[in-house]
Amino acid sequence: MGEKEISQAVVARLPRYFRYLGELREQGVERISSGDLSVIMNVTASQIRQDFNHFGGFGQQGYGYNVDFLYHEIGRILGLDEEHQLVIIGAGNLGQALANYMNFEKRGFLVKGVFDVNPKLVGRQLRGLEIMHMDGLEHFIKMHKIDIAVLTVPKDSAIETAKLLVLCGVKAILNFAHVDLNVPEGVQVENVHLSDSLMKLSYNLHRYEEAFGKKTSGGGGKEG
Amino acid sequence: MGEKEISQAVVARLPRYFRYLGELREQGVERISSGDLSVIMNVTASQIRQDFNHFGGFGQQGYGYNVDFLYHEIGRILGLDEEHQLVIIGAGNLGQALANYMNFEKRGFLVKGVFDVNPKLVGRQLRGLEIMHMDGLEHFIKMHKIDIAVLTVPKDSAIETAKLLVLCGVKAILNFAHVDLNVPEGVQVENVHLSDSLMKLSYNLHRYEEAFGKKTSGGGGKEG
């Protein structure tokens, strides 16, 4: 389709549209105007129209968007009309939490295998999957046509592990390790740096307190 | 200090600067030019100078930045010179993983309590903390001067729980629930929507394959 180079800022907003449209759809809403959608999503209607125009617009003027159609179109654009085969690398707490995270599966991201180097973890069951040793990774990736790896290994081994994943043919990495990976062009990386999110929160908390004074806990107005 | 309204795009880059400077510092590097820093961080030197200018610049022309000074200044700007008291709401897999996530503690974010409504979880030990029932939340937040809550409850109860947190005086929420919270002005929210990250990754994977052709085994899957 005629989708041209879209900025990552627009791409980052697509999952949110998809989520809201999914909810509207579940509520049985058939049509929605950009104005109503903008109120629900707390963005401007012009932002919505601009974003959608990157993909041909979707809607009909004065008539609103067909919720079901729009939901499926955005899903298709996000690649959710195909299933994805995932491996999780690192079976520590976070890896285990992610293996159990049902939202992934609901969207067609299927966790096919979990890998670790820790002999205490290898062989243990995790939601019906046996945790495997990294030695078997390359074979497994090829056998199961894995296209996405979720990386939850410690920072110190993340870069080496990412290199190995790329060598094995993985084309996309969801990186939770607190380090930037260096991957060849054509390999997609999406970072989830949890400490960074917390620091950003801390920044905003402090700036707000500096600007408006510290309101100690419990001072908040209880609404009636 | 004279820090004025800074765009969230700049704020989002501060933790990354902080991380790289921390690494340089550990390696014993005392000074670095914006040019060298730009190479390591894979951003332009002009981006670095522009970002730093929001905070007064930090550096000396032709002389480079003092790594230790810059590290501490950015840490201070991020509010990391103070300790933060956290609670984790939701002791499921993700909540447990986060309670065990040492990076938080290293940055001065101290997990003081973990809460859940599930009677099977309440009373269990989690890294030296007893999982508590939500009934005790308000008292606990006031007693321990909690300023940040990490929210890992299911989507359906997230909005109600966030309201409760705000009533109890929590001023910042790190939200992992896959829903947008509606909080009063002055309460900071940072969202970590894991499914959104995975969808963005999926988008980039598909666009790359469309643009340059599928190179590997990957893919397959159903048609919608």
Of A3, A79, A207, Cβ closest to residue B202: A79
The CA–CA distances, whole Å, from A222 to A218, B22, B102, B169 equal: 9, 42, 35, 10
- Going from N- to C-terminal start, the domains of chain B cover 8-77, 84-195
Higher pLDDT, A3 or B152: B152
Number of neighbours of residue A39 by Cβ within 10 angstroms: 12
pLDDT computed for residue A223 by the predictor: 38
pLDDT of residue B4: 57
Binary contact (A82, B216; C-beta < 8 A)? no
Topology at the third CATH level for domain B84-195: Rossmann fold (3.40.50)
pLDDT in tens, A33-66: 989 999 999 999 999 999 998 888 787 666 789 9
**pLDDT score, position A221:** 40
Write down the pLDDT at residue B214: 63
Q: How many CA atoms lie within 13 A of B18 on its CB side?
A: 26
Indicate the residue of A85, A92, A201 with minimum beta-carbon distance to B148.
A201
In this predicted structure, what is the pLDDT of residue A171? 95
* Range of lowest pLDDT (A98-112, A188-202, B68-82, B114-128): A98-112
Residue A54 in contact with partner chain B when CB distance is under 8 A: no
Per residue of chain B (224 residues), give pLDDT as tens. 444 578 888 999 999 999 999 999 999 999 999 899 999 999 999 999 999 988 887 876 667 899 999 999 999 999 999 999 999 999 998 999 999 876 788 889 999 999 999 999 999 998 889 999 999 999 999 999 999 999 999 999 999 999 999 999 999 999 999 999 989 999 999 999 999 999 999 999 998 888 887 654 444 433 33
Residue A99 parent element (H or E): helix A93-99
> For residue B6, what pLDDT is reported?
84
Nearest to A15 among B109, B192, B199 (CB): B199
State what percent of residues in chain A have pLDDT above 90: 73
Taking CB atoms and an 8 Å cutoff, what residues of chain A touch B88? none
Residue A160 pLDDT > 50: yes
pLDDT at A219 over 60: no
Of the listed ranges A22-36, A109-123, B45-59, the one predicted with least confidence: B45-59
> Least CA distance to A8: which residue of chain B?
B200
B8-77 and B84-195 have identical folds = no
Of B174, B204, B221, nearest to A197 by CB-CB distance is B174
CB contact under 8 A, A174 and B204: no
pLDDT at residue number A167: 95
Pairwise CB contact (< 8 Å): A147 & B205: yes
Contacts of B192 in chain A (CB under 8 A): 192, 194, 197
Residue B46, both tokens: 């002009």
The pTM assigned to this predicted structure is 0.88
ipTM for the complex shown: 0.88
Q: Report the pLDDT value the prediction gives residue A6, as an integer from 0 to 100.
A: 84
Q: How many Å apart are CA B157 and CA B143, to the nearest integer?
A: 24
Q: Residue A98: closest CA among chain B residues belongs to which residue?
A: B94
Partnered with residue A130 across adjacent β-strands are A125
What CATH class does A84-196 carry?
alpha beta
| One-letter amino acid for residue B182 of the chain | N
Scanning A124-163 for CB atoms below 8 A from B yields 142, 145-148
Q: Is B46 on the interface with A (CB under 8 A)?
A: no
Q: Look at A103 and B90; give whichever has higher pLDDT.
A: B90
Q: What is the pLDDT of residue A214?
A: 64
Going by DSSP bridges, is the β-strand pair A109-116/B125-126 parallel, antiparallel, or unpaired? Answer: unpaired
Q: How many CA atoms lie within 13 A of B200 on its CB side?
A: 22
> What is the reported pLDDT for B219?
41
pLDDT at A128 exceeding the cut of 90: no
Which of A23, A112, A166, A206 to mutate: most B Cβ within 10 Å?
A206
A39 touches chain B (CB under 8 A): no
B178 shares contact with chain A (CB less than 8 Å):
yes
A24/B contact by beta carbon, under 8 A: no
Q: Contact, B76 vs B18, CB < 8 A?
A: no
Q: Which residue of B has its CA nearest to A156?
A: B23
Residue A82 has pLDDT above 60, yes or no: yes
Between strands B129-133 and B125-126, the pairing is antiparallel
pLDDT per residue as tens digits for the range A141-158: 999 999 999 999 999 999
Chain A residue numbers with beta carbons less than 8 Å from the beta carbon of B93 are 96-97, 100-101
Structure token digits, residue A15: 């999952």
Cβ <8 Å between A194 and B146: no
Residue B127 backbone dihedrals phi, psi, to 5 degrees: 50, 50
How much is the pLDDT for B209?
Answer: 83
* Contact of A146 with A112, CB cutoff 8 Å: yes
CB contact under 8 A, A199 and B104: no
Residue in A77, A142, A206 closest to B217 by CB: A142
Distance CA A136, CA A129 (A): 14
Chain B CB within 8 Å of residue A188 CB: yes
CATH assignment of A8-77? 1.10.10.10
